[in-house]
Amino acid sequence: MDFIIDGNNVALSNNGRKAKLEWLLAIIKELNPIGTVFPVVSASLKYRIDDQDQLTELIKKQVVWETPAGEDTDLFILELARKLKGYIVSNDRFRQYKEIYPSIVNQRFSFLLVEDKEGNVNAILPWIKQFRSGN
């Protein structure tokens, strides 16, 4: 089972503040035990993220995929999901691509990230149960 993570959408999901790598890592951590994870980020995210060095290292190690500068990251994510027959993890509804990728848009799952009192980030993925149970 393949999960393509919209890395920009996840890292920037804190209402427009600086992108947080920790948020992306929380989603990766939740999904790794149940499938292959492809976190995809734009080339520009490294200039807006709170931990540029760690993101650069994750890209070098191919833990995170970076789209080439100037590429449409959404199209890259959608095309990767189509080719892999994978699921997209994003709060972006990709409405502008519904006509081009009608089935993939329906394979999108949303997420919620919350910080507890100690500052630990928790990924809330209610839909993950269907993959853990083998349905």
- Domain of 44, CATH number, reads 3.40.50.11980
What is the per-residue pLDDT across 101-115, written as a single tens digit (0 to 9) for each? 888 767 999 999 998
Positive or negative torsion for Cα 82, 101, 90, 106? negative
Instruction: Give the closest residue to 62 by CA, choosing from 35, 37, 44, 79.
Output: 37
Of the pLDDT bands very low, low, confident and very high (cuts 50, 70, 90), residue 134 is low
If one counts the domains in the chain, the total is 1
> What's residue 61's pLDDT?
97
Q: Which tops the pLDDT comparison, 134 or 9?
A: 9
The residue range of the domain holding 55 is 2-132
What is the per-residue pLDDT across 39-75, written as a single tens digit (0 to 9) for each? 999 999 999 999 999 999 999 999 999 999 999 999 9
Of the pLDDT bands very low, low, confident and very high (cuts 50, 70, 90), residue 7 is very high
To the question of pTM greater than 0.85 for the whole model, the response is yes
Of the pLDDT bands very low, low, confident and very high (cuts 50, 70, 90), residue 133 is low
> What's residue 106's pLDDT?
78
Of the pLDDT bands very low, low, confident and very high (cuts 50, 70, 90), residue 16 is low
Contacts 24+ apart (CB under 8 A), 89-94: 89/3, 89/4, 89/5, 89/6, 89/10, 89/27, 89/31, 89/125, 90/5, 90/6, 90/9, 90/10, 91/6, 91/9, 91/13, 92/6, 92/9
Identify the H or E element spanning 36. strand 36-41
